[in-house]
Amino acid sequence: MYNKEPLNFENFSLRALRLFRPGESAGGMSGEGIFGMKEFSLTPEEKRILLQVAREEIKKNLMGAGEKTALPAGGEIHAPHGAFVKKFPVAPIITTRGCPFNCSFCASKCMWMQKLRFRNPIRVVDEIELLNKQYGVKEFHFEDDNFTANKNHAMKVCQEIIRRNLDIVWACPNGVRIDTLDEQLLRIMKKSGCYLLAFGIETGSQEIADNMNKHLDLSKVPEKLKMVRDAGIETWGFFIIGLPGDNVKTISKTIDFAVSNAFRRAQFCIFTPLPGSEIFSKMENKDYDWDKFNFFNTAYCTSLQEKEIQELHKKAFRKFYLRPSIIFGLIRNLKLRQVKWLLKRAADYKFLKSKK
């Protein structure tokens, strides 16, 4: 399990970083609030020290008056969601921390206390400009929990990119809430270079969504998706298979929802009870196989058997991707340079699946 060396900010971060090989993604799930691994299961004393040290570090370095422009130390810049991109090289960037929502499967609340904190949009765009002009970065991935959670902040970042006339493209492959978007915001996002937005829809069952505190009206999703596509922005959906309360019928609804709506790509993950989430804290038996905490193996089952969840997971991918319009769309967008990323992603996936 986790090592017992005294905990401070540096070695805690290193423990987290050691979970991944350089440039590797956790199957496309790298959102700060979504991040949940065995090393994050800390003892109460470790939690207390970590919170104390992290708060001090945040106060000193990361936010507000002390905010610094973070310069890359050199070398290649990796994109955490690098399988399909529009332009190379790619760099991730964060403009906010936290999320005001409280989805019970997500650990964001535990990490950021359900508070949304903003970086100065001018500083954010300073970094974008520096990475673009000095390091040749052409594409940026906003990795906020929810970049559009505050319309005013998102508008300011976009307006500043436009004002400086930067020749870049950007995407939110980490996901934004679809109900935070309107036509005005989408127009300015597109004008500033946005070409892809991912959305955490999670389930096609309104009842399951409500039980998870998702606070998302699924009946409004199709019209919002149309608005995004009409603005000239690609759409990508995130779905979870095997949520608490899920059965064959509700998972079929999820798959049908993904297939029947205007998503160009979809990611189906197997439900994993993340330490720090409300669901995890309510679970009585926490004797898990931590090696299965990777969104592609079954770490938790309720009414369904592990084999059933695995079968439905495969079915979701088959039903979504084995359609001519999706296959041709992917081929059309594929660049030779991306093949190595795709092979790497396939290898990561095989690595994760082999942990059964």
Q: Which residues bind ligand SF4 (CB under 6 A)?
A: 33, 99, 101-103, 106, 108, 145-146, 177, 200
Which of 101, 300 has the CB closer to ligand SF4? 101
Rg (CA), the chain: 20
Which of 7, 178 has the CB closer to ligand SF4? 178
CB of 187 to ligand SF4, least distance (A): 23
Which of 145, 348 has the CB closer to ligand SF4? 145
DSSP per-residue string spanning 171-192:
EEEEEE-GGG--HHHHHHHHHT
Angle between the 151-163 and 121-135 helix axes, to the nearest 10 degrees? 40
CB of 173 to ligand SF4, least distance (A): 14
Helix segments in the chain, DSSP class H: 9-18, 44-57, 108-112, 121-135, 151-163, 183-191, 206-211, 221-230, 248-260, 278-282, 306-321, 324-333, 339-353
Whether 170 contacts 197, CB under 8 Å: no
Which of 7, 93 has the CB closer to ligand SF4? 93
User: C-alpha distances in angstroms, 107 versus 89, 102, 103, 162, 339?
Assistant: 30, 9, 8, 34, 33
CA-to-CA distance for 239 and 210, rounded, in angstroms?
15
Size of the chain, expressed as the number of residues it contains:
356
> Residues 123-146, buried b or exposed e (16+ Cβ, 10 A)?
ebbebbeebbeeeebbbbbbbbbb
Which of 102, 120 has the CB closer to ligand SF4? 102
CB of 144 to ligand SF4, least distance (A): 9
CB of 4 to ligand SF4, least distance (A): 31
CB of 23 to ligand SF4, least distance (A): 24
CB of 273 to ligand SF4, least distance (A): 14
Which of 168, 209 has the CB closer to ligand SF4? 209
Which of 94, 99 has the CB closer to ligand SF4? 99
CB of 150 to ligand SF4, least distance (A): 13
Whether 242 contacts 292, CB under 8 Å: no
